Structure 1
Amino acid sequence: MRKRLMTTIAAGVLGGALVLTGCSTGGDQGHQGHKGGSSASAPASSDGGMDHSSMEHPMDGGPAPAGIEEATSPKYPVGTKVTLTADHMEGMDGAKATIVGAFDTYTYAVNFTPTTGGAPVKDHKWVVQQEIKDAGTKRLPDGTEVTLEAEHMEGMKGAKATIAFSTDQTVYMVDYEAGGMKMTNHKWVVESEIKPAS
């Protein structure tokens, strides 16, 4: 009886560990900073064929990084109600959102291996120029190896990464609600991932 109980407990612990680490196998994360105190388990879509079903994301992404320039005439000004078309996290595509920041910068999808271990993350959307160590002001070419300063997920800050591709579209921070959870200061969605609220 004791042996069966210990086996059941061990299996439960192992299963829990697999659930917690399953989201670090690559693909697209929700892009929250880790400044907020509370977090929510929000499944992410499989962008690039990877599963992030259990990634922990803070519900508050925190402020925009220092040095980022506010957009002078964004298509969606701060306060605009919009509909998201991005699928960075479960429930994001089609969610109603409010623009809380609009910025002009270069925005990158990156491939990296978390500093906490685990499998590589592919095409993480998005990291802005100001979240890359010593990035300077010029657009970084695809394939450039960089060090991340963003904290969108555990193990991201300090990770070595490679630029997969980039855009100079206006990039936005948004507040939105999905699956009963309110996400604030979500980083990031680019202009092509937003449409006017219906």
Structure 2
Amino acid sequence: MKMFISALTMTAITGLAACGASDDMDSHENMGEMKKMDNEMDHSEMEMSGSGEVPTGLEASENPTFEVGDTAIITADHMEGMKDAKATIVGAFETVAYSISYDPTNGGQRVENHKWIIHEEIQDATDEPYKTGDEVKVKADHMKGMDGAIATIDSAEETTVYMVDFEMTTTGDKVKNHKWVTEDELTKQ
């Protein structure tokens, strides 16, 4: 399937080049857009459902905006079918959430700006939060090839993260124990 998508992407790129861009800027924008689309396609390997296990050392939030059992609407679009889904809160935890970029350990295409891993999902994590540009070793398996990858921190945010159950808006598939959405990616119904 991945080879088909890559072939389809290359066909589209070739087609764009054959049509001829009006100037070099248009060509660069088209290539950049195709690369962005290809990177987003890599998120199709994201493990949407999880076991419900939380990393060692992760502490429950004492006063979260959304309590376990509450429902909320997801405003994030990490994956197709996630935005505007009705979520049930399974867990709320205080931590630092990171967006990361990394080359998968299974040889897949580089993943840019993956949201989110948390501080407790970093191998041998320091006591202090990491900063943009720091390199870390990931010990989370949200996507194939993520566990053990060396990642660059794209952003860091101290926040409440939530584990949620929801139904995909595109397919109706049920997702259980999805890790993670941040507090600003949820809104009250």
What TM-score, normalized by structure 2, do the two folds share? 0.78
- SS state of the match for residue 90, structure 2? strand
Which residue of the partner structure matches residue 15 of structure 2? none
The partner residue of 2:120 within 130, 136, 140 is 130
2:154 & 2:2 partners in 1: Cα distance? 29
Alignment of 1:1-198 (within 5 A): 16-19=1-4, 50-52=39-41, 55-58=44-47, 60-62=49-51, 63-178=53-168, 179-197=171-189
Distance 1:19 1:137, change over 3 A: farther
Cα RMSD (Å): 2.0
Structure with a larger share of its residues in helix: 2
* CA contact 2:43–2:143 (8 Å) conserved in 1: no
Structure 1 residue 153 displacement after superposition: 0.7
How far is 1:20 from its partner? 6.9
Consecutive unaligned residues of structure 2, counting only runs of 5 or more, are 8-33
Q: Contact 1:148 / 1:158 at 8 angstroms: preserved in 2?
A: yes
In structure 2, do the counterparts of structure 1 residues 166 and 194 end up closer, same or farther at CA, with 3 Å as the change threshold? same
SS in 2 for 1:51: helix
Kept in 2, the 8 Å contact 1:107–1:126? The answer is: yes
CA distance in 1, matches of 2:2, 2:77: 25
Structure 1 length as normaliser, TM-score?
A: 0.74
Query: Does the 8 A contact of 2:43 with 2:79 survive in 1?
Result: no
Distance 1:171 1:142 in 2: 19
- Structure 1 outlier segments of 4+, above 3 Å: 19-22, 56-59
Identity of aligned pairs, percent? 44
> Any idea what the Cα deviations from partners look like across 1:135-176, whole Å, max 9, x if unmatched?
122111111111000000110000011101011111100000
Count residues in correspondence.
158
- Write the distance in 1 (CA, Å) between the matches of 2:117 and 2:65: 20
8 Å Cα contact 1:20/1:54 also seen in 2: no
Taking structure 1 as reference, are residues 19 and 97 closer, same or farther at Cα in structure 2, changes over 3 Å only?
farther
Change in Cα spacing, 1:188 to 1:54, as seen in structure 2 (3 Å) is: closer
The alpha-carbon deviation at position 118 of structure 1 amounts to 2.2
- Report the CA distance between 1:97 and its aligned residue: 0.5
Amino acid paired to 2:78: H
What is the CA deviation profile of residues 61-85 of structure 1, one whole-angstrom value per residue up to 9, with x for unaligned ones? Answer: 1111121010000000111110000
* Structure 1 residues 18 and 113: alpha-carbon distance in aligned structure 2, compared to 1, 3 A threshold: same
